[in-house]
Amino acid sequence: MQVETTEKDEALTAKMQEHANLQHEKDELEQQLLEIRKELDGAYHTIANQVNWCYIKTKSNIIFLFSSLIAKKLRVCQIYCVLLV
């Protein structure tokens, strides 16, 4: 009877230790996941800012090109109007 109880206690102790080890491993993995999520979030914001910057730069270039084209057309119109007068 005593032997069975000792074996059960040892088995229970082993299971409790295994549970504690698994819990510790789970905690470490959750911490690593948190760090990875932070890195991904930072990478996402970096990429989003770069895309936004490229969009702004492209939009600025398009606006500049159109305003240059309009200015050239206005100069042509002014020259044409001067020639008509």
- Give me the mean pLDDT over the 43-70 stretch: 85
Average pLDDT value for the chain: 86
**pLDDT at residue 1, as a whole number:** 63
pLDDT for residue 85: 65
Q: What are the C-alpha distances in Å from 45 to residues 21, 40, 52, 62, 75?
A: 36, 9, 10, 25, 44
Helix H, strand E, coil C: the string for 21-34 is: HHHHHHHHHHHHHH
pTM score, whole prediction: 0.56
12-51 pLDDT, tens per residue? 999 999 999 999 999 999 999 999 999 999 988 888 888 8
Residue with tokens 């074996």: 7
Q: Could you give phi then psi for residue 36, rounded to 5 degrees?
A: -65, -40
**CA angle, residues 63, 66, 70, in degrees to nearest 5:** 135
